[in-house]
Amino acid sequence: MKKISSIDLFAGVGGMRIALAKALKKIGYIDDCKLYSEIDCYSQQTYGENFPITKLIEDIKSVAKKDIDVMIPNHDILLAGFPCQPFSKAGISKRKGLKRAYGFEDKEQGDLFFNILDILNIKKPKAFILENVQNLKTYKNGEALKEILKKLRKNFYVPEPEVLDAQDFGLAQRRRRIFIVGFSTFNGQFNFPLPTYKKTTVKDFLDSYPQKKYTISNLLWSSHQKRKIKNKKAGKGFGYKLTYPSDKATITISARYGKDGSECLLYRGENKNPRKLTPREVFRLQGFPESFKFSVSDLQAYKQAGNAVPINVVEKICLNVVKYIFNEKKEDKKVA
Could you list the active site residues? Answer: 84
Contacts of 239 (CB under 8 A, 6+ apart): 224, 225, 227, 228, 229, 230, 231, 232, 262
Contact between residue 35 and residue 72 where contact means Cβ atoms under 8 Å apart? yes
Nearest to 197 by CA among 163, 168, 164, 162: 168
Nearest to 148 by CA among 123, 116, 175, 190: 116
**Cα(37)–Cα(55) distance, integer angstroms:** 9
Question: How do 275-276 and 265-266 pair as beta strands?
Answer: antiparallel
**Cα(86)–Cα(118) distance, integer angstroms:** 20
**Sheet of 77-80, strand order:** 56-57, 29-37, 2-9, 77-80, 127-133, 176-183, 162-165
* 3-state class (DSSP) for residue 83: coil
For 142-178, letters b (16+ CB in 10 Å) and e give eebbeebbebbeebbbbbebbebbbbbbbbbbebbbb
| DSSP code per residue over 194-208 | PP------GGGGS-S
**Cα(266)–Cα(101) distance, integer angstroms:** 36
Contact between residue 117 and residue 142 where contact means Cβ atoms under 8 Å apart? no
Q: Cα dist. 268→174, 227, 273 in Å?
A: 21, 21, 7
If residue 234 lies in a helix (H) or strand (E), which one and from where to where? Answer: helix 218-234
